[in-house]
Amino acid sequence: MSDQPLPVMQGPVCPLSLAHQTQIVIGHGSGGTMSHDLITRIFLPAFDNPTLRANDDAGVVQPNQVTRLAISTDSHVVWPIFFPGGDIGRLAICGTVNDVAMSGATPLYLTAGFILEEGLEMVVLNKVVASMQLAAAEAGVHIIAGDTKVVQKGKADGLYINTSGVGIIRDGVNISGAEARPGDMVILSGPIGNHGMAVLAARGELGFQADIQSDVAPLNHLVAAMLDAGQVHVLRDPTRGGLATSLNEIARQSQVCITIQENSVQVQPTVNAACEMLGFDPLYIANEGKLIAIIPPGDVKAIIEAMHATRYGEEAVVIGEVQQAPQGRVLMKTNFGSTRIVDMLAGEILPRIC
């Protein structure tokens, strides 16, 4: 991993600020600064309510005295449809399962909305649906409602899949990006950057052969094991915008500083090599089977042990800690002993990564 800020990620200010935009550009789907601008300027003012304002991966609501629900939605437009380690179907299931799980909820029910392009091969649809079935079985969730729309050739790109998810939050669990407290420790469940670089490899954009598999996986069983083992303040899966963007979101929501150690953040050698060659920083590359957990120091040992005993948590490590100040900042102690500011993703580096 490079310790030098790279051109595409540098600078705290997005050069294409929404204030100057009269049209949607690719960066608005980045998950980084431009996405946040779009949400803050257009969606939040219109739809404003406390749940949406909480700005977590899923909306948490309480329809009656005994039930707390976590509800999330994600549209999936990844291209290509199939990539090493996964496909749009597995991604659609895992993405939403994980968003629900990041509220500390047990995901139970999913909906699936398909937008199909005229001319899509039925064999492709069948393969994607079979992959969704497998992923749903692995996660233990049921798809209980669906919808199919067809648009003319040239009005989509094969297929897009929206999944929405509903889960039940356990009693006593209160997990949110706003719950990080000074003194808490930051855990990362495994090496980063696989999903983004696997999709890029599938596009043939690496320019060389690399054995990189997407990490796309359902994390709900891992989360359940963690909640059994101790107290968790924050959970987030670093998807679009990568680890750097997710940590920045949490630092802002909780008004804390998060400091991570560069040498604790694992990157597989093939992923690292691909990033170096293309000038990408793995901190900004999307993951689809990793989570960040922020937990009180007393619970670190038990939770890490529980993670290590669980599939998808075997490589969990502490990567940093939470401090009081500077508020809203993410800092990284580099391998060279210096400290650098880690900003949110500004533009867009990998469109249609999920």
Q: For residue 285, with 0-12 CB atoms within 10 Å meaning exposed, 13-18 middle and 19 or more buried, which class applies? A: buried
Measure Cα distances from 173 to 36, 155, 232 in Å. Answer: 27, 43, 8
Report how far residue 180's alpha carbon sits from residue 108's, in angstroms, rounded to the nearest whole number. 27
Nearer Cβ to a copy of itself, position 123 or 336? 123
Nearer to a copy of itself, 160 or 331 (CB): 160
Q: At what angle do helices 220-229 and 88-101 cross, to 10 degrees?
A: 20
Smallest gap from residue 234 Cβ to a copy of itself (A): 18
- State in angstroms the smallest separation of the CB of 183 from a copy of itself: 30
For the bound state, the minimum distance from the C-beta of residue 82 to a copy of itself, rounded and expressed in Å, comes to 17
Using CA atoms, how far apart are residues 136 and 140, in angstroms rounded to an integer?
A: 6
13/71 Cα distance (integer angstroms): 32
Closest approach of a copy of itself to the CB of residue 99, in Å: 8
State how far the Cα of 228 lies from the Cα of 226, in Å rounded to an integer. 5
Calculate ∠ Cα 95-27-339, nearest 5°: 85
Nearest residue (CB) to a copy of itself, 68 versus 329: 68
> Omega into 238 within 30° of 0, i.e. cis?
no
Q: Compute the least distance from the CB of residue 302 to a copy of itself, in Å.
A: 28
Q: How far is the CB of 173 from a copy of itself (least distance, A)?
A: 15
Closer to a copy of itself by CB, 115 or 319: give it: 115
- Report the residue number, 92 or 185, with the smaller CB distance to a copy of itself: 92
Q: Are 83 and 129 in contact (CB under 8 A)?
A: no
Q: Which is nearer to a copy of itself, 117 or 179 (CB)?
A: 117
